[in-house]
Amino acid sequence: MNKTAVHYPLFKKEDMDAFFALFQNNLANFVIITVSMLGMGFPTEIVFGKVVPGAAVAVLAGNLYYAYTAKRLAKNENRTDVTALSYGISTPPMFVFLFGVMAPALALTDSHELAWKIAAAACIISGVVEALMGFIGKWIHRNIPRAAMLGTLAGLAFTFIAGEMMFNTFEIPVVGLVVFMLLIVGIFAKIAMPFNIPTSLFAIVAGTVLAYVLGYVGVDEIREGLSQFGIYSFIPTLAGFEGMGLLFGSAASILAVVLPITIYNAIETMNNVEAVSSLGDKYDVRESMAVDGIGTIIGPLFGGAFPTTVYMASTGAKWMGGGRGYSIINGVVYIFAAIFGLIAVISAVIPISAIAPIMVFVGLSMIVTAYQTSDKKYFPAIAVAMLPYFANYIATRFEDDAGAVVNDISVSIIPFGQGALISGIILGAIVVHIIDMDFFRAAMFSFAGTVLSFIGIIHAPALAFNASPEYAIGYVVIGIYFLIMFQAAKAKRIRKTDKEDDDTDISSVG
C-alpha cells in the first residue's frame, strides 16, 4: 500500500535563519565586487548597470533550480526535511576574476569596457568548462593533488584576499581593528553577539556606526549612497561573445588563469554536494556541476562576469533546518537589490574598513582550510604552492614600475609570479608526489611544467613559442631526474622480490 504523500512546504520558520546566513555570504561578495571594480576605475554604468544585475540573474536562476531539485527529492523520498543546496557567487573564483582576469585585462587594453567584456567572455568559458567537468571531474579530482590546489588558493588568499584586505581594514584603524576583532571573537571564539545577531552582520553595523560617530565618514557618503537609488534594467548583452576575440587573441594569457580556477570551483561543488549527501540529502553531483556551469553562463548574458557555485554553507543550512524557501528568498532579494540599486547604496554607505575585515577572515579561512583538510606530511607542498602568488602580488602591485623596482629585489620575481595559479599547482603537485615517493607522477607534472613554460602559460608575460626557455629546461631536467629515481626504485623492488623468492626456494629445499 502506498504511503500518503507528505506536504513539503514552500516556506517554513527555519528558512529565515538559513536565508540570513546565505544572504550575508552573497552580500559580502557583491560589495567586494563593487568596491574592487570601482577602485579599479570601472564606471558605475558597468558595475551597477551590467555586472551586478548579471550576477543577480545568475543567483536567481541557480537558487530557483535548487529549490526545484529540493522539492523533487522530497517528493521522491516522501520527506519534509530536505534542504535545498545553497548557491551564489563563488568566493575564491571571484577574487581570481577580479585580480587575475579583470586587472590584467585592464592593463592589457587600457579600457574598462574591453576589460569587462574579456571578463564576461572568461566567465562564459568557465561555465562551459564546469558543465563539462561533470564528465571528467572525478578523474581530475583523483589526479590533481588537493594539497597542491588548496595551497595555490591559499597563496591567493594570503596575498590578494587577506593581505590586500588587511591593508584596507587599517585605512581607518579604529574601525577596522574593532570589526576584525569582533569577527575573531564571534567566529573563532564562538561567542554570541548581542541579541544573537549574526557575527558578520553585527561587526559590519558596529564598524559602520563607529565610522560615522567618529567622523571618519559623514553625510556626504550617505548622500552619495542614496543617489545610487534608481532602476537598473536587466538587458541581455553580447559583451561576453564580443570579448571572445580578445580572450583568444591579445589577452590569451588570461586563459591560463580561467582553467585551473574553474577546475577548483567544480571540485568544490563536488565536495559540497557530497557533504550534504552525508547529511541525508543525496543530490546528483553531475547535475549540480551542470547547473553551476549553466548559471555561470547565464550571468554574462546579462552583463555578469563572476562564476557561481554550490556553497559550503549548504551544510549550515541543513543544520539550521532550512527547506527550499530560503533559497527562493535569496534569489528574489538579490534581483530586487540589483533592480533598485541597493547594492550600490550599501557599497557607498559602508566604509571599506568595515567590510574588508570580513574578506580578511575569508582569506584566513582559506589558508587554514588548506592545512586542516590536508595530511600533515603535505604541509611543505602547500607552502611551496603558495609562493608563486606571493611573487605575483609583488610584481603586479608595482604595475608599470615593476620591471625597474622589482628587479632590484630579484630578477626572478616577475617570471616566477606569471601564471601563478597553474605554476603553484605544478610545483605543489611535484612536492606532493615526492613526499609520496611517487616519482613517476612527479616527473609527469615536471614535464607538464616544461610544456606550459615553453608556450608561455606560466613564467612568461604572454603566449609565445619558446616563451620561457630557462624554466622549460629546468622542468625537463628535474623530470628526467625523477624518471631516473622512478626506475631506480622499480629496479630495487624487483631485486628485493627476487631475493625474497630465492630465500623462499632455499628454505623450501632445506
How many Å apart are CA 58 and CA 296, to the nearest integer? 7
Q: What is the pTM of this model?
A: 0.74
Query: In the prediction, which pLDDT does 312 show?
Result: 65
Give 63's pLDDT tier (boundaries 50, 70, 90): very high
Give 509's pLDDT tier (boundaries 50, 70, 90): low
Query: In the prediction, which pLDDT does 157 show?
Result: 81
Residues above pLDDT 70, as percent of the chain: 93
- Summarize pLDDT for 264-309 with one digit per residue, the tens: 778 778 777 876 777 788 888 888 889 999 999 999 999 999 999 8
Give 399's pLDDT tier (boundaries 50, 70, 90): low
* 241 CB neighbour count, 10 Å cutoff: 14
Query: In the prediction, which pLDDT does 1 show?
Result: 42
- DSSP 8-state code for residue 160: I
Q: Tell me the mean pLDDT in the region 238-263.
A: 84
CB 326 within 8 A of CB 18: yes
- Summarize pLDDT for 95-121 with one digit per residue, the tens: 889 988 998 899 888 899 999 999 999
**Angle between the 14-39 and 342-349 helix axes, to the nearest 10 degrees?**
70
How many Å apart are CA 268 and CA 373, to the nearest integer? 13
How many Å apart are CA 41 and CA 61, to the nearest integer? 29
Give 238's pLDDT tier (boundaries 50, 70, 90): very high
CB 257 within 8 A of CB 119: no
Q: Which three cell numbers stand for residue 244?
A: 571572445
Measured CA distances, 215 to 35, 169, 175, 211, 495 (Å): 21, 17, 11, 6, 78
The HSE-up count of residue 262 (CA atoms within 13 Å, CB side) is 28
Q: Tell me the mean pLDDT in the region 367-377.
A: 87
Measured CA distances, 243 to 79, 233, 240, 389 (Å): 46, 22, 5, 26
Q: Tell me the mean pLDDT in the region 202-217.
A: 90
